[in-house]
Chains A and B, each alone.
Chain A
Amino acid sequence: MSAALNGLTILAVCAGAFFFLAGTVGLLRFPDTLSRLHALTKADNLGLGLVVLGLLFQAEGLLAALKLISVWLLALLAGATVTQLIAHTARPSGPQA
C-alpha cells in the first residue's frame, strides 16, 4: 500500500515538474508580455496542482491534506486574478489589431 502511494507521488510530482519546465520554456521563448503571461500561469498552476496532488498521498492527517488543497486553490485564485490585472497593466486599451 505504501509502495503504491509512493509510486503515485513520484508520478504526480514528475508530471508537476514537467509542467513547470514547460511553463519556463514558454516564458523564455514567447515573444511578448501577454503570451509569456499565458505560459506562466497555465503551466505553473497545473504544475503546483500536480505537486500538491503528489504530496497529498504523503500527507499526515486530514488537516495537512486540507491545507495542501487550500494552498493550491488560493494560488489558483490569486494567480488567475492577478494575471488579469497584470494583463490590464500591460495593455490597458484591450485587444489591439
Chain B
Amino acid sequence: MAFDIGLALLVLGVGAWTVAARDTFAAVVGFVAYGLLLALVWVRLAAPDVALTEAALGSGLTGGLLVSASTRLRRAETRAVDERQPASLRLAAAVLCTLVSAGVAAIVLLLPEPAPTLAPQAMVNMAATGLGNPVTAVLMAYRAIDTLLETVVLLLALVGIWSLAPDRVWGGVPDPRHQAEPDGRLTFIAQLLVPVGILVGIHIFWVGSVAPGGEFQGATILAAMWILAMMAGLVDAPAVNRRWLRLMLVAGPAVFLTIGLTGFAVAGSFLAYPEPHAKLLILMIEIPVTLSIAATLALLVAGPPERAPGR
C-alpha cells in the first residue's frame, strides 16, 4: 500500500516537474522519465502488455521524436520563452485540466463493483483464434480493424513529415550524416547493442501470441535499433524516394487489407478469419506489419529529408 502511494506521488511529482520545466529539452527528459514510471505502474496493475507498449512506444520512441523536435526548435526557443501567456489564459488551462482529472477520478471511483468488463468473453472465445494471449486476440482478431487503421494512420503521419522537406531536397535523405568514428564510443555501443536489440525485438514480437508482447512492441524495438545504428553513423538513412523503402512501408497495411478483403469471400465479412486457419492468417499479417511499423517509426524519428537524394 505504501509502495503504491509512493509510486503514485512520484509519478505526479515527475509530471508536475515536466509541466513546470523551463526549456523544451528538460521537459522531454521529464516526459521520458514519466513514461518509465508509468511502465512500472502498469506492471503493478498486472498489465505487462500495456507496460511493454508504454516503455517502448509511449516513452522511448516518442521521446526520441520529441528530442529531435526540441533540437530543431532550440534556435527559436529563446524568442518563444519571452512571450509569456497572460495569467488568465494559464489559469483557465489549469482549471480545465483539473476539471478533466477530477471527472476521470470520479468515474473510476464510482464504478460499480465489479466493474463492467468484456474480459471473460474475450478469454472464452480465445480458443477460436488459436492464440494464447488475450491482448493479442483483441488486437488482431476482435478489433483487427482498429489495428489496421493504426498502421494506416502511422503511414499518413510519415507522409506528413516527409511533406515538410524543402523543394530542393524533395525525396531526399533524412538527417545530417552522422560521422562514424571507427574507434568511438558510439560505434562501440551500437555494434554491440544493435544485434542484441534486433534479437530481443524479434523475440518480443514472436512471443506475443502466447505471452505479453506483440508486433507493435517488437517493431518499436527494431525501429529504435535502426535509429541507433543511424545515430552512430553505422548506416546512413535511406533516401525516401527509394522504391524498396516505400514497398517495405506499405507492405504491412497492404497485406492486412488484402487478407481483410478476402475475409468477405472466405468467412463472411471484412477481416473475418476462417476458424481453422485463424492463427496462420494472423501470423501472415503480423510479419509484414511488424516490418512496416518498424520502418515507419524509424523514419518518423529520422524526420523530413535534409539532403538531396544521390542518384
A81-B188, A84-B185, A85-B186 given; 8 more Cβ-contact pairs under 8 Å: A70-B196, A77-B189, A77-B193, A78-B189, A78-B193, A81-B189, A85-B185, A88-B185
Residues of A within 8 A of B (CB): 70, 74, 77-78, 81-82, 84-85, 88
B188 contact set on A, CB distance < 8 A: 81
Identify whether the interface residues of A are mostly helix, strand, loop, or mixed: helix
B192 lies within 8 A of A77 (CB): yes
**Which residue of the partner chain A has the closest CB to B190?**
A81
Interface residues in chain B, defined as those with a beta carbon under 8 Å from any beta carbon in chain A: 185-186, 188-189, 192-193, 196
Instruction: Name B192's closest neighbour in chain A (CB-CB).
Output: A77
Kindly state the separation between the CA atoms of A37 and B192 in the bound complex, as whole angstroms.
23
Enumerate chain B residues within 8 angstroms of A70, measured Cβ to Cβ. 196
Chain B residue nearest in CB terms to A83: B185
Total CB contacts across the A-B interface at under 8 A: 17
A81 with B196: CB separation less than 8 A: no
Nearest 7 CB-CB pairings of A with B: A81-B189, A84-B185, A81-B185, A77-B192, A85-B185, A81-B188, A77-B189
Q: With the chains together, A78 CA to B189 CA distance in Å?
A: 7
Instruction: Please report the C-alpha to C-alpha distance between residue A77 and residue B196 in the assembled complex, in whole angstroms.
Output: 12
Ordered by A's residue number, 9 sampled pairs between the chains whose C-beta atoms are within 8 Å are A74-B196, A77-B193, A78-B193, A81-B186, A81-B188, A82-B189, A84-B185, A85-B185, A85-B186
Residues of B near A88 (CB, < 8 A) are 185
Residues of A contacting B196 with CB < 8 Å? 70, 74
A6 CB to nearest B CB, Å? 21
* Closest residue on chain A to residue B203 by CB atoms: A67
Return A71 CB to nearest CB of chain B, in Å.
10
Kindly state the separation between the CA atoms of A88 and B186 in the bound complex, as whole angstroms. 12
Chain A min CB distance to B246 (Å): 33
